Structure 1
Amino acid sequence: MDANLTDPSEDEECRLAEAAIACLQSGRLTPLIKEELKYKIQAKRMEQGKKELQVQFTTPNTYELTNEEAMKSDRRRQQNRLAAKKFRKRQTTVAVALEKTLQKLQNENGHLNSEVERLTMEKCFWQEKLNTLLLSKIDGQSDPSDNF
């Protein structure tokens, strides 16, 4: 049993050589590391008295769709395309509506800001007039209507 752990068979040497070539071609150590892990697992199993692990990979079975399945798949695909198209159109419509609303609100905001500026200037004007009138009353001027 010890001879099996230290002396790799020709098949194992072949797989190790293939892994080394794959490493050189890909520039990665992954294939070599995988082979090393396989050997370590096998050695551990054999030390424990278990038999050698044989792993065989089979390709999954593929089958042709029946006419009914193909029609159902095509119908689902078509419905999905239509739903996606409808969704994109709705998103575009919403985006355009939001853009129009944004433009309208920005215009309204501009008008309101200019109105605020105009009213602020008017307020300053009337405050000046009021201050002038109050100062003229304090100074004793008899005709405050001259200021208007």
Structure 2
Amino acid sequence: MAVNLTDPSDEEECKLAEAALACYQSGQLTPLIKEELKYKIQAKRMEQGKGELHVQFTAPNSFELTKEEALKSERRRQQNRVAARKFRKRQLKFAVNLDEMLQTLEAENSRLHAEVGRLSMEKNFWQEKLNKFLLSTIDGHLES
């Protein structure tokens, strides 16, 4: 169906076609959903015998910044850049410190695991000695 975008009698179809085009260009369904919602509201108003609702949106006026405002804005932008640079530097330093701490803790963990293994072997050695001593003591008492 070809829609004549200049024909005022096809105003609704024109708006719908424009919304569909906006959806296609932006990749979002919002313009089409808005138009459909407007049509549903208008249809409901007409059913209830109310008049057609006309809403006109005018874009707010844009004002030129004064030289002082432009300078202030540029200064603020520059300060923000510096602050962002400092933040990224601090973040990197923090990450490096975390990495160093991780390596230190992993080394400590390995050392402690080795010590646990050594102490476990030492405990087993002394446990065996104690068991042999107790057996020899019991055997000595039983023989006498």
Common topology (TM > 0.5): yes
Matches within 5 A, 1:4-15: 11=8, 13-15=9-11
Provide the residue aligned with 1:88 in structure 2: 88
Quote the sequence identity (%). 50
Q: Does 1:35 align with 2:52?
A: no
Alignment partner of 2:13 out of 10, 17, 22: 17
Provide the residue aligned with 1:144 in structure 2: none
Q: TM-score, normalised by structure 2?
A: 0.71
Give CA-to-partner distance per residue, 1:36-85, whole Å, 9 cap, x none: 423543664xx46xx76543322211111111111100000110111111
Q: TM-score, normalised by structure 1?
A: 0.70
Give CA-to-partner distance per residue, 1:76-129, whole Å, 9 cap, x none: 011011111111110111111111111101101110111111011011111101
Between 1 and 2, higher relative CO (CA 8 Å, sep ≥ 6) is seen in 1
Higher gyration radius (CA): 1
The number of equivalent residue pairs is 127
Q: Report the RMSD for the aligned CA atoms in angstroms.
A: 2.9
Helix, strand or coil at the partner of 2:59: coil
- Which residue identity does 1:38 align to in structure 2? Q
Alignment partners' CA distance in 1, 2:93 and 2:60: 46
- Which residue identity does 2:45 align to in structure 1? I
Provide the residue aligned with 1:111 in structure 2: 111
Say if 2:42 and 2:52, in contact at 8 Å, map to a contact too: no
Say if 2:46 and 2:52, in contact at 8 Å, map to a contact too: yes
Provide the residue aligned with 2:4 in structure 1: none
Q: Which blocks of at least 5 consecutive residues in structure 2 are unaligned?
A: 1-6
Q: Which blocks of at least 5 consecutive residues in structure 1 are unaligned?
A: 1-9, 142-148
Helix, strand or coil at the partner of 2:12: helix
